[in-house]
Amino acid sequence: MRRVRRSFALLLPLLLAFVAMLTAGPQGMVDWRAQRAITIESDDWGLSGFVPDAAAWDGRRREDLTPGSFPAVYWNSTLEDSGSVAELAAVLGAFRGRDGQPALLQPNYILSALAWEGGQWRRYDLPELPQAYQRPGMWTAVREATGRGVWYPEFHGAWHYDPERRQSATAADPGVAAAAERGIMLFPGSEAARELGPWRSTPQLAAELDTALAIFGRAFGRRPGSLIAPDYTWDGRIEALWASRTLVVLQAKREQRHPRWPHGPVGRVLKVVDRQWSRAVRPERTYLERNCRLEPAQSPDAAATVAACLRDTRKAWRRGEPAIVESHRVNFAHADPAIAAAGRRGLREYLECVAALEGGPGVFLADVEVASLMRHGVSLRQAGEVRIARNGTHSRRVAFDPAGLRRGTTASLILLDSHFEGPVPASADR
């Protein structure tokens, strides 16, 4: 009997640690039920692909490229242009949160492109674009959208595919090279040629990351504060690499794909344990899970997609979470203008429904704000010329403003009243 009790005493802490690990959730200093927050994360902006325009397929059987499987709408996914950015910005700007700030889209950017031009590879880094993907006025539209506070760029990746696999597939087949010459980004096996695949060397990925961060800084004037891995594929060494560059706000951990892990129930259990383990042992990292989908371009019934997204938004709020909405670029930039128009319509309908909810629309936040509110109870974000401050707690709190410190002229410590939200108050103590 005593032996049983002793083994139980030994096992209990282990059991409790295991339970703690399985139940580790997002940290929270604010009441997310009261916040009623919406974050819209949108991947693939800046990606020179899949095709420059629908004419790229003229006289060509696209199936011959055998890229692998993806939703059919992606065959004609294309790089955004000034019109698609401006029209989307207009939809967002027509809606306001309870804080008076407009609806906000967080475009996650791909920073570089490889282009097969005149029989050789050429590299383009944003804001430069390949010859086949010229988009006059696009950066003006991005600057305007950013200035209006509806556009908050974040980080997606360098290429969205393994550049070496693309180069070798193109070298091996003149048909693939001819497609690349037209600006078609797809190649045999491209769907599985993940940018951060486990076969790629860590030093190479570290160099790519540093280059991509420098390009991001030049294009958008700051460091990214949040990121999402291309194709949701990354592993522990990549997370460590990001953390070493102070990238600790990570999107969509629940969607993470491990190409070498088994499929089926074993793989699923491994994923849950890995995710909870990461939450428990990496408290310095913030994992933001996407809990709503708004992908009308992939749905035969856009109205049902909007209704489901609205339902999931309310469920997230009831669970005490921000509503984090996934909505890829393909909904808003497409070689078929009717698809982009339907995507904008879907977003507009969703925002109308949210605005009509009892209690009003809540607030639109970027990942960096969600993460900072969770961790510190306060947040600061640049929206054009304005800095938006928030205090999600019941008490007065001080927010630290590193931008103010850099400028050396304005506040670096800002005192915020409880539940304050809006532009940094002029009267803030300094």
Residues that bind Zn ion (CB under 5 A): 43-44, 230
State the CB neighbour count (10 A cutoff) for residue 386: 14
Q: In the complex, what is the shortest distance from the CB of residue 41 to Zn ion, in angstroms, rounded to a whole number? A: 11
Q: In the complex, what is the shortest distance from the CB of residue 157 to Zn ion, in angstroms, rounded to a whole number? A: 7
Quickly list DSSP for 165-188.
Answer: HHHHHHHT-HHHHHHHHTT----T
Residue closer to Zn ion by CB (options 181, 191) is 191
Residue closer to Zn ion by CB (options 230, 322) is 230
Residue closer to Zn ion by CB (options 24, 129) is 129
Residue closer to Zn ion by CB (options 108, 379) is 108
Residue nearest to Zn ion according to CB distances in the complex: 43
Are the C-beta atoms of residues 340 and 331 closer than 8 Å to each other?
yes
Cα 427 to Cα 430: distance, rounded to the nearest angstrom? 9
Residue closer to Zn ion by CB (options 44, 235) is 44
Residue closer to Zn ion by CB (options 95, 109) is 109
Q: In the complex, what is the shortest distance from the CB of residue 160 to Zn ion, in angstroms, rounded to a whole number? A: 6
Q: In the complex, what is the shortest distance from the CB of residue 131 to Zn ion, in angstroms, rounded to a whole number? A: 23
Q: In the complex, what is the shortest distance from the CB of residue 329 to Zn ion, in angstroms, rounded to a whole number? A: 8
**By CB neighbour count within 10 A (0-12 exposed, 13-18 middle, 19+ buried), where does 99 fall?**
middle
Within 323-401, residue ranges assigned H as helices are 337-356, 367-376
Q: In the complex, what is the shortest distance from the CB of residue 308 to Zn ion, in angstroms, rounded to a whole number? A: 22
Q: In the complex, what is the shortest distance from the CB of residue 49 to Zn ion, in angstroms, rounded to a whole number? A: 10
Quickly list DSSP for 197-223.
Answer: -TTS-HHHHHHHHHHHHHHHHHHHSS-
- Does residue 163 have a cis peptide bond before it, meaning omega lies within 30 degrees of 0? no
Give φ, ψ of 244 to 5 degrees. -65, -20
Residue closer to Zn ion by CB (options 35, 78) is 78
Residue closer to Zn ion by CB (options 43, 421) is 43
CA atoms within 13 A on the CB side of 270: 13
Task: Determine the residue type at 374.
Answer: M
Residue 306 in tokens: 């909007």
Q: In the complex, what is the shortest distance from the CB of residue 390 to Zn ion, in angstroms, rounded to a whole number? A: 29
Instruction: Using alpha carbons, list the distances in angstroms from residue 137 to 34, 85, 113.
Output: 40, 10, 19
For tokens 């397929």, what's the residue?
57
Give φ, ψ of 171 to 5 degrees. -65, -30
Q: If residue 92 lies in a helix (H) or strand (E), which one and from where to where?
A: helix 82-93
For tokens 């939450």, what's the residue?
279
